[in-house]
Structure 1
Amino acid sequence: MTEKLDKIGQSGPFFELDERRRKAVVLLFEDELTDEEIAKNVQRRRSTLDNWKKDPKFKAAQEQYKQLVVKDKFESKALKRLIELIDAKSEMVQLQAVTTILKMAGRLSENSTPELDEAKVRKAKAEADIAEFKAQTLINSGAEGVDLISEYLDKLDNMSSKELMKDES
Structure 2
Amino acid sequence: MNKGSKKLDKIGQLGPFFELDKRRQKAVILLFEDELTDEEIAKNVQRRRSTLDNWKNDDKFKAAQEQYKKLVVKKDFESKALRELVNLLNAKSEMVRLQTAITILKMSGMMSDNSTPELDKAKVRKANAEADIARWRADELTGKNKSDDSTVLVDDIGDVEDE
Structure 1 segments of 4 or more deviating over 2 A?
A: 123-142, 145-148
For 1:1-20, list aligned pairs within 5 A: 1-20=4-23
- The question of whether the paired residues in 2 share the 8 Å contact of 1:85 and 1:93 is answered with yes
For 1:52-131, list aligned pairs within 5 A: 52-131=55-134
Higher relative contact order (CA 8 A, sep 6+): 2
Deviation (angstroms), 1:65? 0.5
- Identify the residue that residue 141 of structure 1 maps to in structure 2: 146
Of residues 36, 47, 51, the one that matches 1:48 is: 51
- The question of whether the paired residues in 1 share the 8 Å contact of 2:90 and 2:97 is answered with yes
- Percent sequence identity over aligned pairs: 73
Q: How many residue pairs are counted as aligned between the two chains? A: 146
The amino acid that maps onto 2:146 is S
Distance, in Å, in 1 between the alignment partners of 2:87 and 2:152 is 57
From the two aligned structures, give the one with the greater helix fraction. Answer: 1
**TM-score using structure 1 length:** 0.76
Structure 2 unaligned runs (5+)?
154-163
- The question of whether the paired residues in 1 share the 8 Å contact of 2:105 and 2:111 is answered with yes
- Residue-by-residue CA offset, 1:116-148 (whole Å, 9 max, x unaligned): 001111222233344445556653437xx5985
- The question of whether the paired residues in 1 share the 8 Å contact of 2:136 and 2:145 is answered with no
Structure 1 unaligned runs (5+)?
149-169
Deviation (angstroms), 1:82? 0.8
- Residue-by-residue CA offset, 1:71-118 (whole Å, 9 max, x unaligned): 110000001111111111111111111111111111111121111001
For the pair shown, the structure with the greater C-alpha radius of gyration is: 2
Distance, in Å, in 2 between the alignment partners of 1:128 and 1:10 is 45
Q: Go from structure 1 to structure 2 and tell me whether the alpha carbon gap of 1:96 and 1:147 turns closer, same or farther (over 3 Å shift).
A: farther
**TM-score using structure 2 length:** 0.79
